[in-house]
Amino acid sequence: MTRHFLRDDDLSPAELREVLALAAELKAAPFSRRPLEGPKGVGVLFDKNSTRTRFSFDVGIAQLGGHPVVVDSKSTQMGRDESLADTARVLSRFVDAIVWRTYSQAGLEELAQHSTVPVINALSDDFHPCQILADLQTIAERKGAEGTGSVAGLKLTYLGDAANNMANSYMLGCANAGIDVTVSGPEGFRPDPRFVQAARERATQTGAEVSVIDDPVLAVAGVDVVVTDTWVSMGQEDDGLDRTAPFRPYQVNAELLAHADPDAIVLHCLPAHRGDEITDDVIDGPQSAVFDEAENRLHAQKALLTWLLEQS
Ligand code: CP
Ligand code: NVA
């Protein structure tokens, strides 16, 4: 059966460990796996802007021996309302995997339903699971258990827009990895209970805890990983909400970071809005791992593609 990666809990906890082990292997030996030798094609489609996702998939697919077809979906017949079902049927005849950055999670699910090749979510309004794979790889490198690199038992707190795709993916992805995860944001920007529930269900398999804590200082107390993201996600620019003042207490700055574990690392998926969700001294400081995190998009996605292709 074709496996897809549309949300963080599409991998079981054991499968997630396999993908992360492969990501570490590919980081050490970037050309050791060639599952796309041929070259086989991979479609990489964008409805939203991207720097990291675009470059990391393009380069990663080439390093796996394949041929990336990177397109702005609006320039295809998808932009003229060809159905997702027909698009999936046609692309499945040309490529061995489809990567799509879009708005609607339901659209991704529909595409996957009609695709005979793996479909990967490269960010939707609801989730950004490829980013979490890179983040977990980074956490394993910096904070993982000696020898195994296991991240289980660590504590991570996400601050800011706790209702966005990154917050949802941290809840699901950390629960899947056995990391205790807390999300913290102002009133009106707290997570959809459906996603908290889904994360808690997954956490029953790994022993992780999933918490929503309103107070940012309490939320970061003693944690190993502090994370934030933009206060204005793509597509929210004109939503009429005040996306500045309510978020100020959740800014990741030196004062707030001082409440975390002294050896805590700081992550941000980028692009950063310096002076808003994170300050220059923190993102450029000794606790920041954000550029390793960005690099790990390449390794983690190569591992994901390799693993998905091995399943069919
Ligand atoms: N973090 C991330 O997905 O970056 P891009 O939007 O540049 O792809
Ligand atoms: N939450 C952000 C993540 C960008 C990588 C957005 O969706 O714009």
% the chain with pLDDT above 70:
100
Q: Is the pLDDT of residue 312 over 90?
A: no
Report how far ligand 1's centroid is from the alpha carbon of 75 (Å).
Answer: 20
Token duo for residue 6 = 């549309």
User: For residue 228, which of 201, 259, 267, 195 has the smallest C-alpha distance?
Assistant: 267
Residue type for position 8: D
pLDDT-based confidence at 290, cuts 50/70/90?
very high
**101 belongs to the catalytic site:** yes
CA distances from 92 to 45, 74, 261 (A): 14, 19, 48
Indicate which residue's Cα is closest to atom 3 of ligand 1: 53
- Residue 166 CA: nearest ligand 2 atom is 1
Token duo for residue 309 = 């292709």
Q: Is the pLDDT of residue 163 over 90?
A: yes
Indicate which residue's Cα is closest to atom 6 of ligand 2: 233
pLDDT-based confidence at 248, cuts 50/70/90?
very high
Task: Establish whether 51 is an annotated binding residue.
Answer: yes
Query: Which letter does DSSP use for residue 135 in this model?
Result: H
% the chain with pLDDT above 90:
99
Question: For the whole model, what pTM was predicted?
Answer: 0.98
Residues 40-64: pLDDT tens digits?
999 999 999 999 999 999 999 999 9
Task: Tell me if 113 CB under 6 Å of ligand 1.
Answer: no
Catalytic annotation, pick one of 10, 269, 299, 301:
269
Mean pLDDT of 53-81: 98
Task: Tell me if 291 CB under 6 Å of ligand 1.
Answer: no
Indicate which residue's Cα is closest to atom 7 of ligand 2: 233
Mean pLDDT of 286-297: 99
Task: Establish whether 131 is an annotated binding residue.
Answer: yes
Indicate which residue's Cα is closest to atom 1 of ligand 2: 233
**Ligand approaching nearest to the C-alpha of 230:** 2
ipTM of the complex: 0.99
- What pLDDT score does 177 carry? 98
**229 belongs to the catalytic site:** yes
Task: Tell me if 297 CB under 6 Å of ligand 1.
Answer: no
Q: Is the pLDDT of residue 140 over 90?
A: yes
Q: Specify whether the CB–CB gap between 110 and 77 falls below 8 A.
A: no
Token duo for residue 226 = 């502090």
pLDDT-based confidence at 153, cuts 50/70/90?
very high
Token duo for residue 297 = 């998009």
Residues 200-246: pLDDT tens digits?
999 999 999 999 999 999 999 999 999 999 999 999 999 999 999 99
Task: Tell me if 268 CB under 6 Å of ligand 1.
Answer: no
Token duo for residue 82 = 């060809």
Task: Spell out which residues line ligand 2, taking CB within 6 angstroms.
Answer: 123, 128, 164-166, 229-230, 233-234, 269
Token duo for residue 144 = 């993982």
pLDDT-based confidence at 279, cuts 50/70/90?
very high
Report how far ligand 2's centroid is from the alpha carbon of 49 (Å).
Answer: 10
Q: Specify whether the CB–CB gap between 47 and 76 falls below 8 A.
A: no
Write down how long the chain is.
Answer: 312
Mean pLDDT of 284-303: 99
Residues 124-139: pLDDT tens digits?
999 999 999 999 999 9
Quote the mean pLDDT of the chain. Answer: 98
Token duo for residue 147 = 């020898």
**86 belongs to the catalytic site:** no
Report how far ligand 2's centroid is from the alpha carbon of 146 (Å).
Answer: 32
How far is it, in rounded angstroms, from Cα 21 to Cα 13? 12
Task: Establish whether 116 is an annotated binding residue.
Answer: no
